[in-house]
Amino acid sequence: MPIPIIGELFAKGFSAVPHGWTILKSLPWLVLVYLLKIYFGGARNTSERNMHSKVVVMTGGTSGIGAAVAKELATRGAQLVLLTQHPLSDPFLVDYIMDLRTATNNELITAEHVDLSSLHSIRVFATKWVDNAPPRRLDMIILCANTMTPSGGNATATEDGLEDTWGLNYVANFHLLSILSPALRAQPPDRDVRIIFGTCASYMGGNIPGSPSSTSKADTSKSKPKAKAKQTPDSSEAFTPSSAYANSKFALMTFASAFQKHLDAYKRPDKQPMNARVVMVDPGWTRTPGMRRYMTLGSLWGLMMYLVMWPLWWLLLKSSEQGAQTFLYAAMEAEFGRGVGGRFLKEVREVKVMRKDIEDEVVQKKLWEATEKTVQALEKEGAIRRAKEKKEEKKPTETSKEGPNVGPRVQDVTNETEKKSTATPSSSTRRTRKA
């Protein structure tokens, strides 16, 4: 069949092929689109590593880049512990875990309820992990959870009153790793332990102008019911989503560099060198749910425009699988299991950090101490609030049934009512039971 067609093509030219000239003219453009797609798709991870028996704790592992990373690591045999805000009985989470187990042929995938917007929730999980004796195995922590307020949006707040972007992107990770630090340092010296931070190029425009515990002047008209958004990186500036996001990523990278120094300063009882290493990863612009929310401005009109321009976004933005490649490189490349930590990766290769103040020990110390004070103050406030709520739930009500909780005043009123009543004995008995 192909030979007669080729012969006809040589004998009569492209005019003999239906739509031949149209196809020929379109071919260069198709090739161009293909090459652009390869270019914008970024580099691919070529490192191979057997992940069997490796215990990996992940945030953000149920959607976007985190889901792609989780699937690839599970396919290679890693034991995953996904930290998720969903209740463990949530049908979505149950189906997601079961589907992931089936797709990867890996039953060692579990989830823990950890709401990153709640410092108390983080402490409950991390403390339970650290208090285990003997110390639980922990080979890797991957921090993929991320949030960004759409452009033009108002500031919202976490359960503890932190501005969402600052609280979720930075403070939650600080709090989690601060508590899990003993578990990381307790790992045997022959174990390759990695802490992988997800960051973004926007860190270059970020700064830490004031204490992260300062009071916000941001508009909180759309805040969550219990949120007050009173904690932001800087109270002297009006809230803008882009600056808040850049500040959170700058602070996260500063903390990541400081955390590596914190680990290196630990003197192991066995006199062996520290085997835990920090790696920072910039996955690039990716078509994640968070990116879609940001680009659509969180509105239906924005979503409609996003769908209309879908071919452009498909060409320019990476898929979740493409965005996961640098994370996988950080998790699998043997080079990052030895030598110095605190490396920064982008497009599956090591690059230099553009902001030198990220590695400044004075900046790191100031940020660490300020964040630590903020967390301590907020945890204390949260403990007091929960104690009050628990106390209010136990308060007796006037409508309580007769028993140990019925006060003397209610009993006296009931007795007086019974004496003055002209009702039948049976009615009196019913009222007594009701009281």
Residue 300 has pLDDT above 90, yes or no: no
Q: State pLDDT tens for residues 359-409.
A: 999 999 999 999 999 999 999 999 999 999 888 887 765 455 555 544 444
Active-site residue, selected from the candidate residues 249, 271, 394, 420: 249
Mind listing the domains of the chain with CATH numbers? 2-41 (no CATH), 55-283+318-384 (3.40.50.720), 400-434 (no CATH)
Which pLDDT does position 353 carry in this prediction? 92
User: d(Cα 247, Cα 407) in Å, to the nearest integer?
Assistant: 56
- Quote the longest CA-to-CA distance of the chain: 119
Contacts from 293-299 at CB under 8 Å and sequence distance 24+?
Answer: 293/148, 293/150, 294/148, 294/150, 294/151, 294/241, 296/150, 297/150, 297/151, 297/152, 297/153, 298/150, 298/153, 299/150
- Give the pLDDT band of residue 93 (cuts 50, 70, 90): very high
For 226-235, the pLDDT digits (tens) are: 444 454 444 4
pLDDT of 35 above 80: yes
The string of pLDDT tens digits covering residues 131-154 is: 988 889 999 999 999 998 888 778
Specify whether 249 is catalytic: yes
Average pLDDT, the chain: 83
> Residue range 61-65: average pLDDT?
92
pLDDT at 225: 41
* pLDDT above 90 (res 127): yes
pLDDT of 311 higher than 70: yes
- Percent of the chain clearing pLDDT 70 (strictly above): 80
Task: Check whether 14 has a pLDDT greater than 80.
Answer: no
Q: Tell me the pLDDT tens digit for each residue of 250-284.
A: 999 999 999 999 999 999 998 998 999 999 999 99
